[in-house]
Every structure is written in structure tokens, then in C-alpha cells.
Amino acid sequence: MAAYSFVSRWHFQSPRERVWQVVATGPSFTDWWPSVIYSKNLTPNVTGVGTQYERVIRGRLPYNLRFVSTTTHFEPPREFVYNAVGDLAGKGRWVFDPMGEGTEVTIFWDVVTTGFWMNLLGPLLKGVFSWNHNQVMRNGEQGLAPSGSPVSAYPHDVRMIRSVGPRSARVNRFAPGGGRVDRR
């Protein structure tokens, strides 16, 4: 299995509570994130921990990735954490931090690919797959904050993605509050 570890940062001029409302409890991701081509709430009567969504993502490359996320930690308006299973398996964490009068959203995504073809081609095309992920994330930030939206992005900020490689001492980004170091 090919492992990927991404950190994406989005910056918005809107207050944290507004950004949280749109991302964590608002409309479906398909309403504002063009790369999310399918999203279904599998637990419509659940909010917070235990919420499950099935999603299909498509970036600029000609393939789709399907996964189901299950929320494992939910702390409005600060953060939510989820496990993912499907074509991508692992953990995701979204952290919403006040930044002046705006908000910085940091998205951690540590996953492995489970599909035969992605694992076969992963060693050769990992950089291309990472580029595609970056395009999906850029597409999400731009979709969340279009001109005239109640959530507005800083127009000068297009630096938001960095790919993080393997490391021996690893921050446990998925513990509530994050930041502890795990030695693995």
C-alpha cells in the first residue's frame, strides 16, 4: 500500500464560527467543492461523533476515489477527526483556528491507497498522485470562498498545500488538541 501524508492550510477572512458552520454542519460538500462529485450522509439523524458520509472524489486525473468517513471526535467550532475506509484508508483531521478577524483551517490527511492499480503505480507516480491531491484541495478552498460568498478567502493566499514525507518522530495529529509526539 502506498502511504500519503498531507497538510493543507486554507485561510479565510470570515470568523471561525461561520467557516465551521459551512464546512462541518452546512450544505453537502458537493454544493461547494467541485472535486467532491458524490456525497451521501449515511447517518442523517446523527450529528458529531458517529456521523458517516460516503464520498467520491475526482481531481484532474481520470480516476475517482470512493471512501466512507466516520467522525471520531467533534469539538465545535474547533476541530473534527474522522477515520476513512475505501479506496483511501486512514485518518483525517480539520482544525479551525482564529487568525485575526479570519480563520485558518488546517486539514491533516494521512491515508494509504487500497486499490491494486494505485498501489502498483504508487512508487512511480506518487508525485503525480500528490499533485492531484493538491489540485483537489485548492479546488475546495476556492469553492468554499467564491466571490460574494458568506465565507471569503484572502485573495492573495494561494499557498496552502505542502506534502509531508515519512518521519521517525511523528506528531499525533489525530489526538484531541493534537501536537503530542509519538515515537514509532
d(CA 69, CA 86): 9
Q: At 149, is the pLDDT very low, low, confident or very high (cuts 50, 70, 90)?
A: low
Go through 168-177 and write b for each residue having 16 or more CB atoms within 10 A of its CB, e for each that does not. eeeeebbeee
Q: What residue ranges do the domains of the chain occupy?
A: 3-183
**Angle between helical axes of 116-144 and 16-24 (0-180°, round to 10):** 130
DSSP state of 135: H
Q: How confident is the model over 41-91, as pLDDT tens digits?
A: 999 999 999 999 999 999 999 999 999 999 999 999 999 999 999 999 999
Assigned fold of 3-183: Alpha-D-Glucose-1,6-Bisphosphate; Chain A, domain 4 (3.30.530)
Q: At 158, is the pLDDT very low, low, confident or very high (cuts 50, 70, 90)?
A: very low
Residue 95 has pLDDT above 90, yes or no: yes
d(CA 112, CA 106): 20
Q: How confident is the model over 10-21, as pLDDT tens digits?
A: 988 888 998 898
